[in-house]
């Protein structure tokens, strides 16, 4: 379950502007936020038992990326979605791995908790050499104990949010490999032009009820001399996306979470419709959806995020990237957009839900509307 910050690490996180009282706080309150007060909270029984089509009937199509990874890049930027929020980013000769989760469950327990319904398309031991590992926050579907225990042997730098380093160090990662960032702080990879900056997100943290919000959560911006990439981690819709665009845009690739949302949970996740609004606030760019297709973490059908995003992005002319698992793509290269997931269990296009009722404060424009 990890370790709480102590000593100098604790002093540093308490010095953060985001630390208020005894925990981290969002810039904007999650509740009521975008929450629909007319939608009742799901019961624990409903969450555990699930609903219709919470998982696919068969494994999703997947590709082995190793042969493609061995080929040179035409543009200098290539991305491979490996499931949920795990992505291998190749950027101007460097490899960056985001929120790596190879474990069987998003849970502290071996026999209980959300179970992976889709394997990672490549074994962890077969990953190529890495230059950086990024961890947005400490939830189980983003910070995975067995994966970190395996990656620690690579002696690669881990870039993460304030306080999360306590978990990493407790699990055997060398202290010198751990770099914790507050929002707007940056890490520069020595000997390269690669920089990672932590940016605002709207979420929460904790690996138990006792440790709720004792570590920070962040989005992350990866920059090289030629390319800039945005990775959302977990987040709700927030006006801070405009500030991120002003500081770092335009983006050559935008990765935003689209799955595991519910109207009663407040604005701590985006879902596909608010992801499109966030994409617009960030200034657009090729859009790769993440945080879906691996775990059942909400009551919606497993493919609902993909269906809604596919239909609405197509109508709105959004440059959407929806590769199969393990399929490396270069955002600057043309890519045919097809709903490949529909073949898994014979699903047809889902009826689109009504427009999301939540909106940002009136002072925040939504260019997509």
Q: Which residues contact 193 (CB under 8 A, 6 or more apart)?
A: 92, 224, 225
What are the CA-CA distances from residue 276 to residues 180, 235, 267, 337, 367 (Å)? 29, 13, 14, 17, 10
Q: Summarize pLDDT for 241-273 with one digit per residue, the tens.
A: 999 999 999 999 999 999 998 877 778 899 999
Extents of the domains making up the chain = 49-334
This prediction's pTM: 0.91
DSSP string computed for 214-270: SS---EEEEE-SS-EEEE--S----THHHHHHHHH-S-SEEEEE-SS--GGG-TTS-
Chain centroid to Cα 48, Å, comes to 23
- Whether residue 139 is predicted with pLDDT greater than 70 in this model: the reply is yes
Return the SS3 of 67. Answer: helix
Continuous segment of H or E residues that includes residue 88: strand 86-91
Question: What is the pLDDT at residue 337?
Answer: 87
Question: What is the pLDDT at residue 353?
Answer: 43
Question: Would you tell me how many other CB atoms lie within 10 Å of the CB of residue 140?
Answer: 21
User: In this structure, what is the dihedral angle of CA atoms 270, 275, 277, 283, given to the nearest 10 degrees?
Assistant: 130
DSSP string computed for 323-341: PPBT--B-TTS------GG
Q: Summarize pLDDT for 27-36 with one digit per residue, the tens.
A: 987 655 445 5
Chain centroid to Cα 283, Å, comes to 19
The stretch 179-196 carries a mean pLDDT of: 98
Q: Summarize pLDDT for 8-17 with one digit per residue, the tens.
A: 999 999 999 9
Q: Which CATH superfamily is domain 49-334 in?
A: Ribonuclease Z/Hydroxyacylglutathione hydrolase-like (3.60.15.10)
Continuous segment of H or E residues that includes residue 181: strand 178-181
Question: What is the pLDDT at residue 265?
Answer: 77
Q: Summarize pLDDT for 73-87 with one digit per residue, the tens.
A: 999 999 999 999 999
Confidence tier at 37 by pLDDT (50, 70, 90) = low
User: In this structure, what is the dihedral angle of CA atoms 280, 29, 101, 248, given to the nearest 10 degrees?
Assistant: 40
159 HSE (CA, 13 A, CB side): 29
What b-and-e string marks burial along 59-97, b requiring 16 or more CB atoms within 10 Å of the CB? ebebbebeeebeeebeebbbbbbbbbbbbbbbbbebbbb
Q: Summarize pLDDT for 102-123 with one digit per residue, the tens.
A: 999 999 998 899 999 999 999 9
Q: Which residues contact 8 (CB under 8 A, 6 or more apart)?
A: none
Q: Summarize pLDDT for 315-348 with one digit per residue, the tens.
A: 889 999 999 999 999 999 988 889 999 999 865 5
Question: What is the pLDDT at residue 36?
Answer: 58
The CA-based angle 150-156-157, given to 5 degrees, is: 120
Point out the least confidently predicted range of 118-132, 275-289, 324-338, 344-358: 344-358
What are the CA-CA distances from residue 142 to residues 177, 193, 205, 229, 342 (Å)? 19, 26, 11, 19, 26
User: Could you give the CA distance from residue 359 to residue 236 in angstroms, rounded to a whole number?
Assistant: 11
């Amino acid at each position: 379950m990890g370790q709480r910050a102590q000593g100098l690490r604790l002093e540093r996180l308490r010095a953060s502007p985001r630390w208020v009282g005894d925990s981290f706080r969002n810039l904007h309150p999650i509740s009521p936020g975008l929450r629909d007060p007319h939608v009742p909270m799901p019961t624990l029984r409903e969450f555990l038992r699930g609903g219709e089509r919470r998982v696919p009937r068969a494994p999703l199509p997947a590709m082995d990326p190793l042969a493609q990874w061995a080929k040179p890049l035409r543009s200098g930027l290539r991305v491979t979605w490996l499931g949920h929020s795990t992505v291998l980013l190749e950027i101007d000769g460097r490899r960056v791995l985001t929120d790596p989760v190879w474990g069987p469950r998003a849970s502290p327990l071996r026999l209980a908790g959300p179970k992976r319904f889709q394997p990672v398309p490549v074994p962890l031991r077969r990953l190529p050499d890495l230059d950086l590992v990024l961890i947005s926050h400490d939830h189980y579907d983003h910070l995975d104990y067995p994966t970190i225990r395996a990656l620690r042997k690579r002696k690669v730098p881990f870039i993460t949010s304030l306080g999360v380093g306590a978990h990493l160090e407790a699990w055997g990662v060398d202290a010198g490999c751990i770099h914790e960032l507050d929002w707007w702080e940056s890490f520069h990879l020595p000997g390269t032009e690669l920089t990672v900056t932590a940016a605002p997100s709207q979420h929460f943290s904790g690996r138990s009820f006792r440790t709720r919000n004792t570590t920070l959560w962040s989005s992350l911006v990866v920059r090289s001399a030629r390319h800039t990439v945005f990775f959302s981690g977990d987040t709700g819709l927030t006006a801070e996306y405009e500030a991120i665009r002003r500081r770092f845009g335009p983006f050559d690739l935008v990765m935003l979470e689209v799955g595991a949302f519910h109207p009663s949970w407040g604005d701590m996740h985006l879902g596909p419709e608010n992801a499109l609004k966030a994409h617009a606030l960030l200034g657009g760019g090729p859009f790769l959806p993440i945080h879906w297709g691996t775990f059942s973490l909400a009551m919606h059908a497993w493919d609902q995020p993909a269906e809604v995003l596919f239909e609405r992005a197509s109508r709105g002319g959004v440059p959407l990237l929806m590769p199969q698992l393990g399929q490396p793509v270069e955002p600057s290269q043309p890519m045919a957009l097809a709903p490949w997931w529909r073949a898994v269990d014979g699903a047809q296009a889902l009826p689109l839900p009504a427009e999301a009722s939540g909106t940002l404060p009136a002072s925040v424009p939504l260019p997509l509307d």
